[in-house]
Structure 1
Amino acid sequence: MRRNLVIITSFALVMSLFGCDNGRNIQTICKNNPEICADLHKDGWCLAEKTKLIQSRFDLIGHNNPTGKQLYQQLTYLEDYSRCIELASGVQHIIHTNRTADRARAFRLSTQNLSQLQDDTRERQDPFMSYYQWTRFGDTQALNRLLAQESAGEVTEPFLLAQIATYYSSRNAIKAQQLYLKVFASIQFDDFDPSWLLGLASTYRQTQQLDKTYMLTKANLLLTQQKYSEDKMLALIGGNKTLAVTLDQYAQNLIDALKDGHYSSSPVAQWLTPQRIEVHAPVATEVVIEKP
């Protein structure tokens, strides 16, 4: 079993180092830009984290004024690397003891570099860094700045809009709906997080639009292949199985529209658009919807 693990790890390392994109594989980068990799460990542990960090550093070469997004990626990739190498540094290599020492050195340097980069970017006030300062340091001024930036139309990245939508989901359901739907209209499917479907579903539940709650929850279940209770799902719409059939198709239509990049022009997008909340919302079994 251990021999197989070594073989698999070695194969993964070879594939990463000698991939088709020779200009961005980490062996080539480290050979041509040794300063990028000098503080990192040399063996195959934490390969995915190390690769992202090296490629991110490589992309910043020649950028005298990196964007907030680039700095945010540097910080988060360094965080991921540091967490991984911390665990790896505790694994004692019986034969090649120098590898254990090398990982310990890399962990020590990664924590120092992370702290330095956090200090260097602490005065940055662009949306990505406002988000980082809020989530990492509990900086309420950074949060308020981020919310103001979104209100002023300065936040356009789908990832950030989704995080702000999550913040509003328990505070302002309509605002959260607007933000989530803006994300759906602009995100690439490869970057889509299925949990956003549940976030949006919760806002519709707050506004008593249980048909939309059901549909979005079902779309999440279809994407994640999670097991679920059909009875509990039906309970959302008063046990109306006829309605469930229609909403199940809506869920598939939504997934297809997101995958194809045609969400904005899809009928389901129009159906999901936040509407004025009625004082007496109809019960779920009385919902009348047009099929997209």
Structure 2
Amino acid sequence: MGRFTPLLLIVLALTGCDRFNQINVKDICAQHPQMCSDLNPDGWCRAEKANIIKHRFEQSHSPTDKLNYDLLLDFERYKKCIAKASQIEHIKLKEKKTERVKGLLTAERELKRLARETRDSMSPHLLYYHWSRFHNDEALKHFLEYEKTNQLQYPEMQVALATYYIKFDRPKTIQLLYHALELYKEGDEVDPEIFRSLTSLFMKEEQLDWAYLWGYAGREFGVEDLDLTSLEALLQKQSRQLKPIREKADSYVDMIEEGRFVAPL
């Protein structure tokens, strides 16, 4: 019997993954109404609500510190969205505003609850959260202890490390952001803040060609608020050719999207 245990565990794990992938938000709400009833029922903040409901469902079956971290971020995004939506008046259906206010109160309550319940966690994700949101220096100390371990070998955790080093070590921050890009796999959603940060960092380092390259690449990942026109003017003033920089940026975009980016030397 014992020799079959690893196979059994694999089967159970795959079954669990299938359950989470196959069930949709509508089914979760029908089967577990308590996971949905405290959120606004109308069409506002649909994506944010879906993430909360899915992570609540997963947490109810297989609770982890990472899911608590995901839920904290989910409720932050939902709160931002529903706070805006709750200010919109409905002439005929004013009760909709009340429903949105209920969602806002839920977000505030759940953020406080989750923060309280996770404040003693030693999970790197939650340590980073408590440092970045509440300036908890003890959490930061423990978070940095993970730096040389494989527990931070994820794009979001490399970006988290970068938010610490950016204040006093720009070269290291650049390398951390590069490593974050190296860790993305094909099909992953890439954090657009990486491109904004790289552009800003290279501007401060007075490496305008790299600043322009990452700003130009960032457009492919939804970054639209960078002043590339000014950078182009500065580069042309230095007699730099823009076409080779753009071509290199395009090649980096392809590599990032295909999960094969390697940091430049």
Q: Aligned with 2:60: secondary structure?
A: coil
The letter of the residue matching 2:257 is K
Residue in 1 that maps onto 2:32: 33
Structure showing greater Rg: 1
Q: Aligned with 1:154: secondary structure?
A: helix
Could you state the TM-score of these two structures normalised by the residue count of structure 1?
0.70
Contact 1:169 1:202 in 2 (8 A): no
Residue in 2 that maps onto 1:57: 56
- Name the CA distance, whole Å, in 2 between partners of 1:56 and 1:229: 38
Against the structure 1 CA distance between its residues 216 and 237, is the aligned structure 2 distance closer, same or farther, given a 3 Å change threshold? Answer: farther
Contact 1:166 1:199 in 2 (8 A): no
Q: Does 1:148 align with 2:145?
A: yes
Could you state the TM-score of these two structures normalised by the residue count of structure 2?
0.77
For residues 86-133 of structure 1, the C-alpha deviation after alignment (integer angstroms, 9 at most, x for no partner) is 444444555455544443334333322321121111111211101111
Q: Does 1:213 align with 2:211?
A: yes
The letter of the residue matching 1:262 is R
- Name the CA distance, whole Å, in 1 between partners of 2:200 and 2:95: 52
Q: Give the paired residue count.
A: 244
Residue in 1 that maps onto 2:4: none
Against the structure 1 CA distance between its residues 22 and 95, is the aligned structure 2 distance closer, same or farther, given a 3 Å change threshold? Answer: farther
Unaligned runs of 5+ in 2: 1-19
- Name the CA distance, whole Å, in 2 between partners of 1:191 and 1:79: 19
Residue in 1 that maps onto 2:176: 179
Q: 2:159 aligns with which of 159, 162, 165?
A: 162
Unaligned runs of 5+ in 1: 1-20, 274-292
Query: Root-mean-square deviation (CA), in Å?
Result: 3.0
Among all aligned residue pairs of Structure 1 and Structure 2, give the percentage whose two residues are the same amino acid. Answer: 27
- Name the CA distance, whole Å, in 1 between partners of 2:35 and 2:120: 25
1:260, distance to aligned residue in structure 2 (A)? 2.0
Contact 1:200 1:216 in 2 (8 A): yes
Q: Aligned with 1:191: secondary structure?
A: coil
Q: 1:120 aligns with which of 112, 117, 121?
A: 117
Contact 1:169 1:199 in 2 (8 A): no
For residues 182-229 of structure 1, the C-alpha deviation after alignment (integer angstroms, 9 at most, x for no partner) is 111111464213331342344445556554334333323565466756
Residue in 2 that maps onto 1:200: 198
- Name the CA distance, whole Å, in 2 between partners of 1:231 and 1:191: 29
1:152, distance to aligned residue in structure 2 (A)? 4.0
Against the structure 1 CA distance between its residues 105 and 233, is the aligned structure 2 distance closer, same or farther, given a 3 Å change threshold? Answer: closer
1:47, distance to aligned residue in structure 2 (A)? 2.2
Contact 2:212 2:228 in 1 (8 A): no
Q: Aligned with 1:56: secondary structure?
A: helix
- Name the CA distance, whole Å, in 1 between partners of 2:190 and 2:225: 17
- Name the CA distance, whole Å, in 1 between partners of 2:208 and 2:225: 20
Q: 1:252 aligns with which of 217, 242, 250?
A: 250
Against the structure 1 CA distance between its residues 29 and 211, is the aligned structure 2 distance closer, same or farther, given a 3 Å change threshold? Answer: same
